[in-house]
Each structure stands twice: as structure tokens, then as C-alpha cells.
Amino acid sequence: MKRRLFVAADIPKSLAVGFSAYQKTLSINQVSWTREEDFHLTVAFLGYVTEENIPSVEKEISLIAGITKQFELHYDRVILAPPGKDASMIWAKLAPSEQYSDLVGKIYSNVKPYITEQTRTERIPHITLARIKQGIVLEESSLAQPELEQKKFVVDQISLFESKPIEGASEYTRLSTFKLEGN
């Protein structure tokens, strides 16, 4: 059996509350809003992995976490995403980070043998705020920018999640968590 997996990091509760409040200020009905409890920093979308390969994926992520230092990320702005393509999501984009990009690259490189199909490998740190319903076109000008009390946070651990589609949204199950322990 194949399972749909991704690697993510938790975000602070205060940031999640800020994004949830922001969602309520937008009068956009043609989207499926991410629930506050499901906000996360997307690190690597792996796609489908066979059940028997999940322990190998976990081992690879554990090895990477063991040599990766904690790092700080800073909120930049809300955008339609993915950049350069027809918008299918609304992201809270974070400022570029060499440490984040390095982590993403290592994960994709090390787990590639266990992924059943080619996935997106963008290295844009982001938090998905909404998925845009198919056939809907939004303009970036319809996105006011949020007022956030907290705009930065430390990534000190990452988790492997399973994503299951449910009625226009997704249900996330945390499979394992790995502390970033590099020196």
C-alpha cells in the first residue's frame, strides 16, 4: 500500500492564531481554508511512498536531522502559489533561508530512492493558508497582508506526516518527529 507523505515543522501557536485571524479578514469564498491546528511549515512534499519503505525514509530523515542545526525563519508576505504557475494555493511565504534550502535538498536527495513518483522540489519556505478551488482565478491584489505580532520562529525539529484527502481538505497524521541536533 502507498501512503502520501510530507516533511514539515510545527509553527508557534501565536503565529497560527495570527494566520487564522487573517483568514477571517479575507472575503474569498472559492478556497478551502487550512484549519488553524493544521498550519505547518512545509519542508518537503514526498508524495507516495510504499508502506515497506517508510522505515527507510524515517531513517534517512533521522540521519539528516542529526547533522542539521536549528535555524530561524522570518515571515515575508502572503502570496498566490506556487510562484510562476496558475495559482492553486495561498501561502504565507517566509524569507529565503540557506539553512532551510540545505535541509530540503538533503531530504529530497536521500529519500529519492523510496519515492514512487517525481514530486515538486521547490525550496520556498511556506505555510499553506488555503487551497484554491479548481477553475477559480484570484488576483494577488485580493490578498491584504496580515498584521502579525510574531514574524519569526526557530525550527528545532521536523516531522514526517501522512496526508489523506477528505472532503475538499486533508487530514494529517504525524508519523515521527526528529530533533535538529547538528552543531
Query: The C-alpha cell of 55 is what?
Result: 522505515
DSSP 3-state assignment of 110? Answer: helix
Q: By mean pLDDT, which of 28-37, 65-74, 101-110, 154-163 is the weakest?
A: 28-37
Q: How confident is the model at residue 168 (pLDDT cuts 50, 70, 90)?
A: low
**pLDDT, position 174:** 97
Higher pLDDT pick, 133 / 177: 177
- The C-alpha atoms of residue 66 and residue 130 are separated, in whole angstroms, by 32
User: pTM for the full model?
Assistant: 0.91
Q: Give the pLDDT mean for 111-123.
A: 81
Q: How confident is the model at residue 121 (pLDDT cuts 50, 70, 90)?
A: low
Q: By mean pLDDT, which of 35-49, 109-123, 145-159 is the weakest?
A: 109-123
**pLDDT, position 167:** 75
Contact 103, 60 (CB under 8 A): no
| Omega before residue 55 within 30° of 0, cis | no
Q: How confident is the model at residue 79 (pLDDT cuts 50, 70, 90)?
A: very high
Q: Give the pLDDT mean for 25-36.
A: 88
Please determine, for residue 118, whether its predicted confidence score (pLDDT) is greater than 80.
Answer: no
**pLDDT, position 24:** 93
Cβ of 70: how many Cβ atoms within 10 Å? Answer: 13
**pLDDT, tens digit, 9 for 90 and up, residues 2-21:** 999 999 999 999 999 999 99
